């Protein structure tokens, strides 16, 4: 723990949106750099700041999570940190040996065997032949591809390729490690193995971790940088806070969307009782009691309908459904045109895990059970909690461990 290994100071990088212009600027930049002439700092036509005024530092033993939506500038920043492209403004200081887990299996030739490609990949990553010979057995062991070692890599599954690539990369002993979304592929067992290896490297390395997987980020990062359109939106040690603001971005601007309507009801609004709204989401603490209220306008007379909701997570995967909400023995009430239909749904101890969820409202006819109205994103909620989990539910479970005597 201690010395600063990565230091970025007011780093900026511009790119051109137009391809032809980008090439033209490229040629111009080469000429002006070679001739040593002054390069204009301001934006040229069609250019924009892909990264603007980014500053942070990472010490040995720390891991900085770099998160943000697509196009936020993460990859560009990572390329600058890796020394592939130079910043247009500001400076980056890197101290020590740099290892990059950006592309696994770089230098592989599909026709050659796994054995040959270990040498190819390792040489690209900067290993010498002696080092590879020495580490060859541990690479093969780590990759778990044993019997397929002498098969052409083109016949490997994508998971096998990733395993082989990671096995080689895992042999690096860097001072600085840059990781980009490489662990997304591969089965769970292997991902855990990779994390174990990263855990081993972590205490004596400064790590920058780029990922869209918030559970992974909260698992290994000690500080976090949230980027949005090239600028830093949040930078600090409160990883949870950074993740929350990352999630908020998803729902902002996402409105209720009518999927089906038979023109009997019209959706007006939805809310959660006694909760604040932030960035379009109602904020709910984990395991709290929740009451949701939906307001609808009656367009055609109808009897009490059946109402239900379904909960979707960030990846639009359905994770929960409600049981039928109005018990059948209640006497039907007649609703007339221009009445407001109010649906209140409450649930005790909602134990969704930290994250953002959208709620779909379904209304159907009681007798025929034919659909009346279906609204996606009728309501967005954000569950706040300290613990970040891999799954959508954080169950409130009491565990008792005991010993039974034989």
Q: Which residues are at the interface with another protein (CB under 8 A)?
A: 5, 13, 15, 22-23, 26-27, 29-30, 32-34, 36-39, 60, 79-98, 100, 102-103, 106-107, 109, 111-112, 116, 119-120, 123-126, 128-129, 175, 203-204
Q: How far is the CB of 297 from another protein (least distance, A)?
A: 51
Q: Phi/psi of residue 175, each to 5°?
A: -90, -35
Of 87 and 242, CB closest to another protein:
87
Sequence-distant (6+) residues with CB within 8 A of 388 are 214, 215, 218, 219, 240, 243, 353, 354
Q: Name the residue nearer to another protein (CB basis): 111 or 277.
A: 111
Which CB atom, from 75 or from 308, has the smaller least distance to another protein?
75
CB of 327 to another protein, least distance (A): 58
φ, ψ for residue 231, nearest 5 deg: -110, 160
Give the shortest CB-116-to-another protein separation in angstroms. 7
What is d(CA 190, CA 387) in angstroms, rounded to the nearest whole number?
24
Q: Which of residues 161 and 275 has its CB atom nearest to another protein in the complex?
A: 161
Q: Which is nearer to another protein, 95 or 212 (CB)?
A: 95
Cβ proximity to another protein: between 204 and 337 the closer is 204
Give the up-direction half-sphere exposure of residue 389: CA atoms within 13 A in the CB hemisphere. 14
- CB closer to another protein out of 76 and 377: 76
Q: What is the DSSP letter of 38?
A: P
Q: How far is the CB of 77 from another protein (least distance, A)?
A: 11
Q: How far is the CB of 160 from another protein (least distance, A)?
A: 19
DSSP for 215-274, written as a single string = HHHHHH-SEEEEEETTEEEEEES-HHHHHHHHHHHHHTT---EEEEE-SSEEEEEEEETT
The least distance separating another protein from the CB of residue 115, rounded to whole angstroms, comes to 12
Q: Would residue 83 be called left, alpha or beta, if left means φ above 0 and alpha means ψ between -120 and 50 degrees?
A: left
Residue 11: CB minimum distance to another protein, A: 9
Q: Decide if 378 contacts 294 (C-beta within 8 A).
A: yes
On whether the CB atoms of residues 114 and 145 are closer than 8 A, the answer is yes
Distance CA 12, CA 51 (A): 5
């Amino acid at each position: 723990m201690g010395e600063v290994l990565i230091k970025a100071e007011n780093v900026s990088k511009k790119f051109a949106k137009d391809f032809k212009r980008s090439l033209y600027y490229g040629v111009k930049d080469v000429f002006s750099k070679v001739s040593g002439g002054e390069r204009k700092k301001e934006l040229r036509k069609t250019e924009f700041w892909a990264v603007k005024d980014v500053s942070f530092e990472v010490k040995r033993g720390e891991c900085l999570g770099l998160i943000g939506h697509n196009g936020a500038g993460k990859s560009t920043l990572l390329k600058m940190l890796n020394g592939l492209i130079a910043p247009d403004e500001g400076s980056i200081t890197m101290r020590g040996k740099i290892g990059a887990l950006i592309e696994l299996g770089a230098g592989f030739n599909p026709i050659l065997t796994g054995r040959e490609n270990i040498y190819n990949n390792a040489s690209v990553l900067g290993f010498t032949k002696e080092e590879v010979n020495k580490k060859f057995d541990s690479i093969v062991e780590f990759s778990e591809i044993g019997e397929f070692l002498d098969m052409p890599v083109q016949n490997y599954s994508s998971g096998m390729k990733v395993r082989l690539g990671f096995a080689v990369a895992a042999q690096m002993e860097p001072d600085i490690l840059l990781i980009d979304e490489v662990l997304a592929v591969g089965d769970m067992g292997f991902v855990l193995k990779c994390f174990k290896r990263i855990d081993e490297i972590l205490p004596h390395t400064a790590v920058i971790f780029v990922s869209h997987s918030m559970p992974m980020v909260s698992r290994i990062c000690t500080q976090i940088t949230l980027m949005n359109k090239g600028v830093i939106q949040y930078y600090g040690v409160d990883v949870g806070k950074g993740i929350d603001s990352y999630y908020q971005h998803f729902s902002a601007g996402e409105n209720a969307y009518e999927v089906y309507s038979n023109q009997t009801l019209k959706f007006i609004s939805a809310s959660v009782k006694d909760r604040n709204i932030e960035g379009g989401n109602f904020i709910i603490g984990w395991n709290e009691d929740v009451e949701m209220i939906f307001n609808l306008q009656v367009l055609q007379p109808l009897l009490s309908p059946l109402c239900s909701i379904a909960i979707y997570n960030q990846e639009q995967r359905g994770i929960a459904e409600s049981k039928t909400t109005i018990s059948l023995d209640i006497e039907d009430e007649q609703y007339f045109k221009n009445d407001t239909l109010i649906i209140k749904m409450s649930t005790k101890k909602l134990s969704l895990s930290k994250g953002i969820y959208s709620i779909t409202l379904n209304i159907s006819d009681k007798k025929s059970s034919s659909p009346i109205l279906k609204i996606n994103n009728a309501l967005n909620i954000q569950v706040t909690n300290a613990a970040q989990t891999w799954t959508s539910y954080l169950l409130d479970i009491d565990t008792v461990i005991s010993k039974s005597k034989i």
